[in-house]
Amino acid sequence: MKILISHLPKHDWWGHGTPIYKNNPAMKEGVVPNQELVQIEMFMLSQLFSKLPFEVIEIDFPHFLDKQNIKQRQHDFVFVRDLFVSNQKDKIIISKFSENARQIEADIMQTMLESMGYKTIRIPDNSTATAEGGEFYFCPKDKILFSGACRNNIEGAEWVAAEFNVDELIVMKSNAFHLDTLFTPVLNKDANLAAIIACTTLMDKGSTDSLKSFAKRKNIEIVEVEPEDAIGTEKELGEFAVNCQPLPGYLIGPTRFRSNKVAPLLKELDVMHITVPTTQFRLSGGAIHCLTNEL
């Protein structure tokens, strides 16, 4: 497995203030991240992944998205997760955004991946399907695809599931813009799905019931956490602890869970929980899972 990470832009990341994207309560228009912390946190992230037993590929931030004209800047490319979905083998699906402002990022990522020798595919332009990378978690060994249904629509989730030839598609509806702001799977050392951590209070009841039924059928534990461990609420931004990169035997996240049920579960599963802070990236609605992607 290879892990893709982007370098920071040369101009301050949202140095002119963040915009507002739909269904993303983390973004407050005009908020400027602390650039010194941005650099420190990205450096720590890069250093951590370079020490894990996985190959890391770091790419330059595209010059085209880092223009001096602040009205043309699109600085969210650092969230490489959002730009594509990979089956970690031979198929990469370029995101078709419902958030139109970000489509240019996915288009540029496609060009970069193809220049690196990867083959990519796209949802047809005439299709009404939408699918964004942050709405998915794919467990390749189990052939299970988890999908959100906020910026993804059902057609998009099913399109990706068909292309990946999955055995099972689990769709979770919520008002959280991406699934990875309220959910993460946990993989054991053999890369099998071993547990689920989810903020079910932010999902609709039907999705919660389906997820619990799935976990029971698969005989895996589901730990339910509060919004504070997820994206939070309109009144108070959460810690994004659940925004994790699950790797075989590891769960890499931005902070410890406030829930006292997570640590004992991970210890029992012999999964190492490693944290690296992403306090400034949280201002744009992202954390570890958003800043990384598998190839």
256-288 pLDDT per residue, tens: 999 999 999 999 999 999 999 999 999 999 999
Cα distances (Å, whole numbers) of residue 181 to 110, 157, 185, 225: 24, 17, 12, 12
pLDDT in tens, 195-205: 999 999 999 99
Tokens of 27: 């973004």
Cα gap 190→201, rounded to integer Å:
30
Cα gap 234→232, rounded to integer Å:
7
Segment 73-78 shows an average pLDDT of: 92
Candidates 109, 83, 108, 87; CA nearest to 96 is 83
Segment 162-188 shows an average pLDDT of: 97
Domain locations in the chain as residue ranges: 2-294
Global pTM reads 0.96
**233: number of Cβ within 10 Å:** 13
Segment 50-56 shows an average pLDDT of: 97
Say if residue 234's pLDDT is above 90. Answer: no
Domain 2-294 carries which CATH code? 3.75.10.10
